[in-house]
Chain A
Amino acid sequence: MAESNQPVSVTGSAPVPWQPARTSRWGHFDRYWLLLIGALIIAAILFFAFPEKYRPIFRYVFGSFADGDGVFMTLRLTAVSFACILLVGMVMGVMRVSHVGILRGISSFYVEIVRGVPVLVWILWIYFGLPVLFRDGLGFKNMRIAGFPAAVVAFTFAFGAYMTEIFRAGIQSIAKGQMEASRSLGMNYLQATRYIILPQAVRVILPPVSNEFVTLLKDSSLVSVLGLEDVTRRGREWVGRTFASFDTYLVVALIYLILTVFFTRVSSAMERRLSVEKR
Chain B
Amino acid sequence: MSDPIIQIKNVHKFFGKVHALDDVSLDVQQGEVLVIIGPSGSGKSTLLRTINHLETVNSGEIIVDGIQLTHKSTDINAVRAEVGMVFQQFNLFPHLTARQNITLAQRIVRKRSMEEAERTATELLERVGIPEKADSYPGQLSGGQQQRVAIARALAMDPKIMLFDEPTSALDPEMIKEVLEVMLDLANSGMTMLCVTHEMGFARAAARRMVFMDEGKIVEENTPEGLFSAPKSDRTKLFLSNILDR
Contact = CB atoms under 8 A, between A and B. Distances in A.
A184 B77 contact: no
Interface string A99-126: 0000000000000000000000000000
Nearest to B156: A185
A191 interface: yes
A181 B81 contact: no
B108 A187 contact: yes
A185 B138 contact: no
A187 B140 contact: no
A4 B89 contact: yes
Contacts of A183: 54, 77, 80
A4 B170 CA distance: 11
Q: Which of A5, A186, A203 has the most CB of B within 10 A?
A: A186
Query: Main SS of the interface on chain A?
Result: helix
B95 A185 contact: no
A263 interface: no
A19 B139 CA distance: 8
Contact of A1 (B94, B95, B104, B153): B94
B132 to A, nearest CB: 18
Interface in A228-269: none
A19 B94 CA distance: 11
Contacts of A1: 94, 138-139, 146
A42 B54 CA distance: 61
B104 A5 contact: no
A188 B139 contact: no
Interface in B223-244: none
Contacts of B90: 2, 5
Interface in B79-134: 80-81, 83-85, 87, 89-95, 104-105, 108-110
Nearest to B82: A186
B137 A181 contact: no
Interface in A52-97: none
A177 interface: yes
A279 B137 contact: yes
Interface of A: 1-2, 4-5, 17-19, 175, 177-178, 180-188, 191, 195-196, 199-200, 203, 278-279
Interface of B: 52, 54, 77-78, 80-81, 83-85, 87, 89-95, 104-105, 108-110, 137-140, 143, 146, 150, 153-154, 157, 170
Given A181-B92, A183-B80, A199-B95, 9 more contacts: A18-B137, A19-B139, A177-B87, A177-B91, A181-B93, A183-B54, A185-B157, A195-B108, A200-B94
26 contacts: A5-B94, A18-B94, A177-B89, A177-B91, A178-B91, A178-B93, A180-B54, A181-B93, A182-B93, A183-B54, A184-B52, A184-B80, A184-B84, A185-B153, A186-B78, A186-B105, A186-B109, A186-B110, A187-B77, A187-B105, A187-B109, A191-B108, A195-B108, A199-B95, A200-B93, A200-B94
